[in-house]
């Protein structure tokens, strides 16, 4: 047969009650002098117990305060470090943006310098070409003069051929000079400038038709 369920709380209360009754019976059997001595000894023990309990509790509170202070210090340190890292990231980002801007400017300067150097080099080559035409013309006239001096050709033929050579060389020089100073693009040597034709639609206008 199963035993009935026993309530632990009720059993503890009954035990305390029996202990109190036994303590009362013990105190009743004591004389006044014994009661005073018992109370005095219990007061001393109680004070010691209370002092030990307060000391233990005080140490626990001190440890909790120290732990809280350490947590606050750590949180403050992490906050400062996070702010420093944020500022460092901003500084790095600012420096990167400045370097990109400087790099873009340098690329633009280098590209423009390359265009200037290319234009200058081709202009020198064109000048050399004109000088070669002049040298060839003068060499041709000098050869005709030598032949005319030795009576290989007459003076009329010499004059005609010389004038023709000078005219051809002059036409070449004038055409090249006019093309360079009038029609050639001032930035790109291999491009030409064209006058804008009236009534011609631009690319942006043609790409956006109106309804």
Q: Mean pLDDT, consecutive 10-residue segments, the chain of 211 residues? A: 56 65 65 66 69 76 80 83 85 85 83 87 89 92 89 87 92 89 80 70 47 40
CB 141 within 8 A of CB 169: no
Looking at the domain assignment, is residue 183 inside a domain?
no
**Is 154 inside any structural domain?**
no
CA distance 147 to 28: 167
Residue 145 located in a structural domain: no
Token duo for residue 123: 């202009």
Would 24 be classed as within a structural domain? Answer: yes
Answer whether residue 74 is part of any domain: yes
Residue 150 maps to a domain: no
The pTM for the full model equals 0.45
Q: The domain containing residue 71 runs over which residues? A: 10-86
Residue at token pair 């090249």: 176
Q: What 3-state DSSP class applies to 118?
A: helix
Instruction: Look at the chain and report how many structural domains it folds into.
Output: 1
Tell me, yes or no, whether 173 lies in a domain. Answer: no
């Amino acid at each position: 047969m199963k035993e009935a369920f026993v309530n632990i709380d009720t059993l503890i209360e009954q035990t305390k009650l029996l202990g109190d009754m036994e303590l009362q019976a013990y105190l009743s059997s004591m004389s006044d002098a014994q009661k005073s001595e018992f109370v005095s000894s219990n007061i001393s023990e109680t004070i010691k117990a209370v002092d030990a309990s307060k000391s233990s509790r005080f140490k626990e509170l001190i440890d909790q305060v120290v732990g809280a202070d350490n947590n606050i210090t750590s949180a403050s340190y992490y906050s400062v470090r996070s702010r420093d890292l944020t500022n460092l990231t901003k500084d790095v980002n600012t420096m990167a943006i400045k370097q990109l801007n400087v790099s873009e400017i340098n690329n633009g300067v280098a590209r423009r310098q390359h265009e200037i150097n290319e234009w200058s080099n081709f202009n020198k080559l064109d000048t050399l070409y004109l000088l070669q035409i002049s040298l060839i013309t003068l060499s041709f006239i000098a050869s005709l003069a030598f032949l005319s001096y030795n009576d290989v050709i007459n003076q009329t033929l010499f004059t005609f051929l010389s004038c023709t050579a000078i005219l051809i060389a002059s036409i070449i020089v004038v055409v090249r000079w006019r093309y360079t100073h009038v029609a050639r693009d001032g930035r790109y040597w291999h491009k030409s400038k064209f006058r804008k034709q009236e009534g011609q639609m631009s690319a942006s206008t043609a790409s956006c038709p109106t309804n």
